[in-house]
């Protein structure tokens, strides 16, 4: 919008504050920053139903933000009680001390990959009714769906069909092109995912990916079926105003920090092995260099620590509320990023918070886009994901800077393109384009 007036649109995001899931952050950023560029989201979200909750996040919403929790039906609640699909309790989520992946298997298959959608599909009728009502009540001009959960795409599709407003699909991660996840699905489920994705893509005015690599991959996958110009990318971002003010204090001991919990496709092994080589090569005692993990470690992630003899060199920090994350990040000399081949089309969300912290980053990476961002911003060094020797060498370079007393404070201007304000500017351009 260029005339100074604000237009309202529907933002469908089942994950939303006070949920502290990473998937809620993009929608929060848009609510905070889009009004500057002429758009005001009206949010359709789900009630928080698990332990990933931080009530303080609600304080970050601008006054007057309309948030409906109407993305909720009775069927899912009934099925959860009947099938005993209980979420992790908050205490377990916060401590990070879960002992194993919460997998439920049927005939040897992980239940989470048996269907093409997710638990929110049970809420579809209620979500569509509420979405249509919001469009009509507030005169909304477009609908944007932040996914996953992928069933949100169906909500947006049906709202689009019933109201005629343009549909924007915002993929925080790839769907059908997430190769490792697709490999876990049975063949009929893989076929259903591809069919559903194509069906909603055909009806979308714009399809937004969150990395350049993902955008190019989707353009290639849909060449001849969907115009390339319909695809674009808007990366994730950081918003310094969401963090508690802090200067951060570097410890006397050279400290590397990995922030966040490990998952099915992201494991600590390559980092641990590179760190082991680094301390052995430099001849460092536990009091000279330490590796910290903020967010907790599961039992299966602790095993390689013991195998590599690193128990006395590793520090475990429990749950860190998002607002306090910047202080934790700025209390380390080097911030570690692990980007395995499974993430070649994705950029870990923590990279942007690392950029906000302005501490040097070490990336063990199979993603050339991550490598380019680090090089262009001067914010860190990359080593090939599985090359432990190269990872140890890059660590040695950063340690050398520390020993020489070189500053570990990076230029904040170098990362200006990755702020939530610039992210909102890009999404506003998408909305301007589909409603022109």
Q: Taking the CA atoms of 95, 100, 101 and 102 in sequence, report the sign of the dihedral they define.
A: negative
How far is the C-alpha of 385 from the C-alpha of 366, rounded, in Å? 5
Question: How many separate domains does the chain show?
Answer: 2
pLDDT mean for each 10 residues of the chain (436 residues):
76 95 94 98 89 86 96 63 42 41 59 86 94 98 97 98 98 96 95 98 98 98 98 97 87 96 92 98 97 90 94 92 93 97 95 95 98 94 96 97 86 89 98 98
Asked whether 335 and 356 are in contact (CB, 8 A), the reply is: no
CA distance 8 to 325: 32
Domain match, 298 and 185 both: no
Q: Is residue 13 part of a domain?
A: yes
Q: Which residues contact 222 (CB under 8 A, 6 or more apart)?
A: 198, 201, 231
State the pLDDT at residue 407. 80
Q: CB neighbours of 224 closer than 8 A, spacing ≥ 6?
A: none
Q: Residue 403 belongs to a domain with what CATH number?
A: 3.40.50.2000
- Say if residues 166 and 160 touch (Cβ distance below 8 Å): yes
> Does 283 share its domain with 158?
no
Quick check: is 383 in a domain? yes
* Distance separating alpha carbons of residues 273 and 395, to the nearest angstrom: 12
Does residue 154 fall inside a structural domain? yes
Q: Is 172 helix (H, G, I), strand (E, B) or coil?
A: coil
What pLDDT, on the 0 to 100 scale, is given for residue 92? 39
One domain for residues 191 and 286: no
394 and 257 co-located in one domain: yes
Residue 2 lies in a domain: no
Q: What is the pLDDT of residue 100?
A: 42
What pLDDT is recorded for position 373?
A: 96
**What pLDDT was estimated at residue 156?**
98
In a domain, 1, yes or no: no
Query: Are the C-beta atoms of 204 and 167 separated by less than 8 Å?
Result: yes
Domain span at residue 409?
A: 240-417
- What pLDDT, on a 0 to 100 scale, did the predictor assign at position 89? 37
The pLDDT assigned to 295 comes to: 87
Whether residues 268 and 409 fall in one domain: yes
What does residue 425 show for φ and ψ, rounded to 5 degrees? -60, -40
Do 423 and 381 share a structural domain?
A: no
Find residue 8's DSSP bridge partners. 40
Cα Rg of the chain (Å, integer): 22
Residues 6+ apart with CB under 8 A from 199: 157
Residues 425 and 385 in one domain: no
What's the pLDDT at 428? 98
Q: 400 and 328: one domain?
A: yes
């Amino acid at each position: 919008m260029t005339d100074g007036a604000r237009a309202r649109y529907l933002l469908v995001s089942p994950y939303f504050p006070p949920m502290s899931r990473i998937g809620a952050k993009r929608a929060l950023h848009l609510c905070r920053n889009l009004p500057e560029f002429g758009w005001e989201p009206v949010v359709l979200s789900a009630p928080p139903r698990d332990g990933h909750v931080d009530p303080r996040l609600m304080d970050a919403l601008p006054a007057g933000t309309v948030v409906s929790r109407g993305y909720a039906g009775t069927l899912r609640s009934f099925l959860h009680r009947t099938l005993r699909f209980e979420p992790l309790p908050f205490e377990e989520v916060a401590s990070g001390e879960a002992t194993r992946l919460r997998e439920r298997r049927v005939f040897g298959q992980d239940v989470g990959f048996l269907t093409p959608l997710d638990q929110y599909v049970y809420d579809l009728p209620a979500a569509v009714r509420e979405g249509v009502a919001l469009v009509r009540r507030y005169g909304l001009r477009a609908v944007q769906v932040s996914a996953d959960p992928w069933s949100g795409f169906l909500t947006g599709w049906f709202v689009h069909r019933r109201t005629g407003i343009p549909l924007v699909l915002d993929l925080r991660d790839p769907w059908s092109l997430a190769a490792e996840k697709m490999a876990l699905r049975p063949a009929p489920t893989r076929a259903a995912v591809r069919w559903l994705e194509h069906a909603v893509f055909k009806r979308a005015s714009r399809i937004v990916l969150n990395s350049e690599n993902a955008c190019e991959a989707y353009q290639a996958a849909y060449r001849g079926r969907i115009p390339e110009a319909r695809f674009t990318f808007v990366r994730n971002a950081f918003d310094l105003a969401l963090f508690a003010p802090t200067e951060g204090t570097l410890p006397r001991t050279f400290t590397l920090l990995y922030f966040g919990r490990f998952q099915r496709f992201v494991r600590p092994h390559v980092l641990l092995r590179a760190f082991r080589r680094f301390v052995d090569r430099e001849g460092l005692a536990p009091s000279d260099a330490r590796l910290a993990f903020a967010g907790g470690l599961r039992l299966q992630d602790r095993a390689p620590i013991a195998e590599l003899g690193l128990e006395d060199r590793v520090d475990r920090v429990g749950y860190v509320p998002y607002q306090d994350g910047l202080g934790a990040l700025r209390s380390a000399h080097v911030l570690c990023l692990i980007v395995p081949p499974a993430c070649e089309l994705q950029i870990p969300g923590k990279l942007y918070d690392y950029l906000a912290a302005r501490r040097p980053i070490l990336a063990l990476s199979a993603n050339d886009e991550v490598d380019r961002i680090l090089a262009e911003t001067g914010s860190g060094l990359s080593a090939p994901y599985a090359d432990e020797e190269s990872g140890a060498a890059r660590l040695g370079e950063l340690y050398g800077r520390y020993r020489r007393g070189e500053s570990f404070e990076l230029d904040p201007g170098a990362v200006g393109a990755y702020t939530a304000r610039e992210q909102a500017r890009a999404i506003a351009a998408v909305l301007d384009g589909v409603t022109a």
